[in-house]
Structures are given as C-alpha cells and as structure tokens.
Chain A
Amino acid sequence: MVDSAAPGAAVPRLAAAGLSKWYGHVAALNQVSVEFLPGLTGIVGDNGAGKSTMLKIFSGVEVPDEGTVFVDGAPRAFGSAREARAAGIESLYQDLALVETMSIADNIFLGREPARQVLGLRVIDRRAMRREADLALSRVRIDMPSSRLGVRQLSGGQRQAVAIARAMHFGARVVLLDEPTAALGPRETAAFMSIIRDMADREETVVMVGHNLPQMLELADHLLVMRAGMVVATLEPQQTTLRELTDFMVGSA
C-alpha cells in the first residue's frame, strides 16, 4: 500500500490505506487504498460513488471510520480542515471557499494573516499581506489588477485562480479539486485548466474530481474510477477510451 512497489521510488505525497466511511448503513467508502503520484490524478465515478467523501476525508472535513491517510509516507489523522491544511493538503471546494466580502489579499491569507504583537494585541500586517499576495498571484502566473480588489468583483475563473494562488503560496504538498470547473463557462474552464496543467507539469500532486470525462481523459496524467465506494480501476488516460471509462463507471466492464 504505502510501501512503494518499485524500490527507490519516491514516497507519494498523499496515500491512503483501507479507508471506510459509513453513513448509517450505507458505505460511502469501502476499504479504499490509493496512492497519488505527482501530476494530475483525475477521479471519476457516478454520483454516490464516494469521490467527494474521499476528498473530504483527505481535506479533514470528514473523519474516516476505518483506515489511515498518509502524507509523505507518515500516517495522519485529521480532525479538522485546519489540520489537513497544516499538513500541506489544500482543498478547493465546489462552492469556493472564499469570503466574498473581502479582498483577494484577505482571502489568500484567510486564517493565516501575518500579524505582529502590539500592546498585547495581535495586529494584522496589511501591507505585508498585500505585497505577499501580489507575489502569490504572479507565481501562478495569474494576472490581476490588484490584490486589493474585492473577490465579489471577480469572475468564477478568477476566483478559482485566487484559491489556487492561495494553495501554492502556502507550499501545499497536494491540491484537491472537487469539480472545480462546474460553475465556469467554456473559456474560463480552458484558462483554469491551463493553470492546473501547468502545476501538474511542475510535478505537483493535484487530485481532481470531475464529471467531464473527455476533459479528464485529455488532461489527467492518471485516472481513478470509483463505483459504490470502491476504486474499481486505475487507468492511463492515453491508453483509455471514453467507452472503457464509462463501462468501468457503470460496472459493465
């Protein structure tokens, strides 16, 4: 499982062994063991296959009933999103975990604002925050007029980009994406996916749940197919047809 098959192979940044999660009598996840390699891993599956549950466990939102998560080979148990984030696992959620009433810089540093002690009070260092935020944006090659702009004024794709910049700025080991392009138009989807592809090319570990199968086949480096709470196939996108993929998803393969 976590022991790599090939000797000398790098330890995967994110892996799991025997993950199970029940909701009442329904097993949302059933003894799932996975390893995520560098690059973009796509997770596909029908609704209720357990994709989002798995992502939620990795991001600390849900606690598994059984099994263990490994980050860089070390077993971890996350009690909260904060703990997962501290371990280097950054999540981008479907409903965008950004505060609309705040600026880009505020959002990039949300929960991790630079502060200094003044008269016993932790005072936020806005100047450092803006400077660093501009840097974070440029590092993922995102062109924004200013990090002081309100998130409310941004388009869906720009918001995703802010979330990505946040993840990368804090040295994320793994970035988890749950249907990141569901709310985007075609043009913005293309732009967003080019940022993701860029990250994958830099050997970052990116995990993405998605419903757009042609897109997944085209962009992912690895594909996991889930069904009924289990990983039923691990595929190489280049050697997989859309037909094969759907067969695995519905269980006729």
Chain B
Amino acid sequence: MSEQLNSGTRTGERTGGPGKLEARTTERVGTGKPAWLALASRDLYIDVALVGALGLLLVIFGIASGGKEFFGSNLINIVDSGSVLGVVTVGEAIVMISGNLDISVGSNAGLVTAVIAEVMAHTGSSLLLGLVAGVAAGLVTGAFNGFTVAYLRVNSVIATLATYSAYLGLALLVTGGQEVGVVSTILGSLGTGEVGPVPYLVIVAVVVAGVSVAIMRLALVAHSVYAVGGSQSASFLAGIRVQRHIFGVYVVSGLLAAFAGVMLVGQTGTAQPDEGTVGLELTAITAVLLGGVGLSGGTGTVLGAVLGVLALSTLDNGLLLVGVPSFWQEVAIGGLLLVAILLQDISGHRARLRALRGARRRAAGKPPGRQDHAGRRQAVGAARHG
C-alpha cells in the first residue's frame, strides 16, 4: 500500500510546469479522495460522523436495554439531562472557536444562582429583580474574563482558572455557604414544567442552540471570530478588531452561563454555588472537543459541540439503563473523548506517515530534488490539516 501511495505522490509532484503556479492540490489532498470530497470541509465530516456515532449509541443502547425502555420518553430524558450543559457548552464552543478557553463557566453559572437566590430573598421574592441581577452578574463576570484575556492579554487558561476560583468563592460569600431556597412558581414551572412531553428547559436549550448555530454559521461577526481563532496576527493585519472579538465571545459565554444559572434555579429551586455547577466546565469542554472544535481555535462548529453534548448524555443515560456502574461511565466518557480526537486527526496522521515514508525513501535512495521539496511541503500542509 505504501508503495502505491508513494508512486502516486511522485507523479503528482511532476505535473506542474516550471513557469506557472499550478495547483497540484486537487490530486494531493487527502489520500486519493476525489476533488469534490477534498472540498467538503472537515467540519462537515465531523458533524456527519457525530450524527452517525449518536445513531450507533442509540442502536446499541436500544438493543442492550431491550428497546422499549430506552426509546420513547427516555429520549426526552436524554435531551433534558443535557439542557443546562448544552447552554453552557454553546458558550464554551464559541470561546474555543476564538482560540481561547473559559474554565470559569461552571462557577459563573453557580454565582448566578447565588445572586438570584440572595436578591430574591432580600426583595420579597421579586423574580424580575432576581433575574435582572442574575443575568447582570453573568454579563459582568463574562466581561471581566474578556477584559482580562483580550485587553490585559493574560493567557485565557490562566485568566479563567483564576476567575473559576474567584467566582466560586464569591458565590459562597453571597450565600454564606448555606443552601438558599428560591420561592418562585414561575421559575419552578420553567424548571420542571413541560409542553406535552417536552420540558420547557429542553425548549430553551434547543432555541439557544439553534440561534447560536445559525449566528455562528451566517453572521459576519462570527466569521471574524473564526478568523481570530485561526490566526490573530492575520486577522489583525486584515483590520479585524481582534481584542473586541475576544472580549465579545467571553461576554456571550457569561450570558449563556447566566441562562444556565437561571435554568438550574428553576430545576432545583435552590442556589447551587458548588454542588450543581462544579465540574460543569470540564464536561462542557469535553463536549466541545468531542464536537470537533480544536483547542487551537478557528475550527469546528457549535452544531458539533451540541452533538457532543447529546453524545455525552446518551452515553450517561444508556450506561445507567444498561446497569453499568457509574464509575465506569466516567471511564467511558474519557475513552470516547480519546477515540473521537484520534478519529478527527486520523487523516492528518496518515498524511504525516505518507510524508515520512517518502522522506525516508529519499534519504535512503536518492537525494531530494527540487520537486520533492514542493511535494513535501504540500504533504506537511496536508498533515497539519488534520
């Protein structure tokens, strides 16, 4: 197989004439894929693969649990259990597409629940004031993250690790470390009510996800966020206001964390400064990575991240139904993440191997000529494509 690939590579290299910049790329992209496939984006592959994986999980669990139990109303449970996580994950995905990370989303959501509970407790259970204060808290914390990362230029991992801790502490300060109940029939019905078989929270999550997917796909500002994630220097030179965009994605993430906080209060009727939200950020990051958004930014889609959330909740739900101990669920999630990342990068690995084989052959046989130089560069380019 390697021989065949190598000889293919060689003829490909020699087709360009000396005086022209001919693109030999069509025949070089990937491993002999037809041109139209090479043009389809990596993001599309991953989204399709995720839908396939999700379908596979559903079939496996469906069979393993005897069918009836798993499908039907349980499918709604799966989506329901992922709704709060989903809203947080959308924000995390947008931040990660910009090439940054937000570790503080969980504590931010927790702080929002604390603010809502405390404000309502001191204003005679005014839902309006509680919500306004809660959403404002999410926006301010998001803006603080954004300011620190975009304008003070603190590395986003460090900045949000710091605020992760700080927001958690603030939340505990606000509530005095006590669980604070929230009395609100409206919030309560938001958290537990349903339209027909569909819970309100699922509707909220689907709307948030749908709007975000559309905006991130269509809006000019989102396109610029992708550009910033792909290369800050190139974006800056092209006149894109890099700092403003990074600031913006953190504000969005803060706002969505606030939504998640409101949903949590509705769901549980209490402020959840630690119990409900600790670890949320890591699960969100897991879902985003599963969904094909790279750590280095500029790639992946919000839709992929949402599919990642669904995969995680399906796995959780399915393993539970089949009777696998919960400790194994954590192991399974870790395994799923690793496998997914390896699969996402597999074409890159293959191109790299191919380039390496070519290089070894040249090293052993004849010295690399001028044409090999260009060919190798392309192979490396394809390898980085991942």
Contact = CB atoms under 8 A, between A and B. Distances in A.
Interface of A: 61, 80-82, 85-86, 91, 93, 95-102, 106-107, 110-113, 115, 118, 121-124, 142-146, 148-150, 152-158, 161, 185-188, 190-192, 194-195
Interface string B291-317: 000000111000000000000000000
B370 A186 contact: yes
Contacts of A142: 21
Q: Which of B16, B21, B23, B384 has the most CB of A within 10 A?
A: B21
Contacts of B384: 100, 152
Interface of B: 16, 18-23, 25-26, 28-29, 35, 38-39, 41, 215, 218-221, 223-224, 226-227, 229-231, 233-240, 297-299, 370-371, 373-374, 377-378, 381-382, 384-385
A236 B239 CA distance: 36
Given A80-B239, A153-B25, A155-B377, A100 B39 contact: no
Contact of A91 (B19, B23, B38, B237): B237
A149 B238 contact: no
Could you tell me the dominant secondary structure of chain A's interface residues? Answer: mixed
A132 B231 CA distance: 23
Nearest to B229: A101
A110 B238 contact: yes
A96 B234 CA distance: 8
Contact of B385 (A146, A152, A158, A190): A152
Nearest to A102: B230
A62 to B, nearest CB: 13
B20 A191 contact: yes
Contact of A121 (B219, B373, B381, B385): B219
B234 A98 contact: yes
Given A97-B234, A145-B35, A102 B226 contact: yes
A175 to B, nearest CB: 14
Nearest to B383: A152
Given A153-B385, A186-B370, A122 B21 contact: no
Could you tell me the dominant secondary structure of chain B's interface residues? Answer: helix
Contacts of A148: 39
Which 5 interchain pairs have the tightest Cβ spacing? A82-B239, A111-B238, A101-B298, A101-B230, A99-B230
Contacts of A145: 23, 25-26, 35
B371 A155 contact: no
A193 to B, nearest CB: 10
Nearest to B215: A121
A96 B384 CA distance: 16
Contact of A111 (B23, B230, B239, B377): B239
B187 to A, nearest CB: 29
A110 B234 contact: yes
A144 B26 CA distance: 9
Q: Which of A80, A100, A156 has the most CB of B within 10 A?
A: A100
A146 to B, nearest CB: 6
Contacts of A149: 23, 25, 29, 38-39
Given A93-B237, A145-B23, 20 more contacts: A80-B239, A98-B231, A100-B298, A110-B238, A111-B224, A121-B219, A123-B220, A124-B223, A148-B39, A152-B384, A152-B385, A153-B382, A153-B385, A154-B25, A155-B25, A158-B23, A185-B377, A187-B18, A187-B373, A191-B19
Nearest to B300: A101
A157 to B, nearest CB: 5
B21 A85 contact: no
Nearest to A114: B220
Contacts of B35: 145-146
B15 to A, nearest CB: 12
A110 to B, nearest CB: 4
Given A110-B234, A187-B374, A115 B220 contact: yes
A186 B377 CA distance: 13
A99 B21 contact: no
Contact of A85 (B18, B239, B298, B373): B239
14 contacts: A101-B229, A101-B297, A110-B227, A112-B238, A122-B220, A145-B26, A145-B35, A146-B39, A149-B29, A153-B29, A153-B385, A158-B21, A158-B25, A191-B20
